Amino acid sequence: MKEIKFVVDGMLLGLGRWLRFLGCDVVFFSGRRKNFLLRLAEAEGRTILSKDTRLCAEHPERCIYVHGENIQAQLQEVRSLFLQDYRPDLYLTRCSLCNQILQKVTRESVRNQVPEYVFDHHQDFRLCPVCHRIYWDGDHARNIKKILESLWVTR
Ligand SMILES: [Zn+2]
């Protein structure tokens, strides 16, 4: 599968976070300088997702206008345009804070870094190599996966 990389503008940071949950490579751009945004997208081969009608009209080759007014609708829009492949194996494989791919780590190595009840009840842990945040499949992760899963349910 060819990986599609995105950059989201300041209006779509929430969407960007959810695309990371799906496993997409997404960077956030919250500055105001349109030429910086375009240069970043060009340099890194990213598709811009934006709510800026003018920017999207002027750069249709790089920039997609996202119509949806809520995360669910926006996610569905991006999914139907770019993410046809059903890839649950990629869910929650990136750090939601810094976009890095998480690394599997042994349970023993996180013993002193997670709450005791988490350590006792979970086997699989993943670590962000940049911010060192530790992830596991708790209730929060399960809820996110359930919502992601609903994107593939045909209505
Ligand atoms: Zn991180």
DSSP states along 82-113? H--S--GGGTT-B-TTT-PBPEEE-TGGGTTT
Residue ranges with CB less than 5 Å from ion ligand 1: 95, 97-98, 128, 130-131
pLDDT band at 152 (very low <50, low <70, confident <90, very high): confident
Which of 94, 128, 126, 103 has its CA nearest to residue 17? 94
- In the reported structure, the alpha carbon of residue 3 is separated from the centroid of ligand 1 by a whole-number distance in angstroms of 20
Which of 94, 69, 67, 101 has its CA nearest to residue 81? 67
CA distance 43 to 6: 12
The CATH class that applies to domain 5-90 reads: alpha beta
Per-residue tokens: 147: 């919502």
User: H-helix or E-strand containing 144?
Assistant: helix 139-150
- In the reported structure, the alpha carbon of residue 56 is separated from the centroid of ligand 1 by a whole-number distance in angstroms of 30
DSSP state of 152: T
In the chain, residues under CATH classification 3.40.50 are 5-90
pLDDT band at 2 (very low <50, low <70, confident <90, very high): low
DSSP reduced 3-state for 27 = strand
Residue 117 confidence (pLDDT) above 70: yes
Task: Return the percentage of the chain with pLDDT > 70, whole number.
Answer: 97
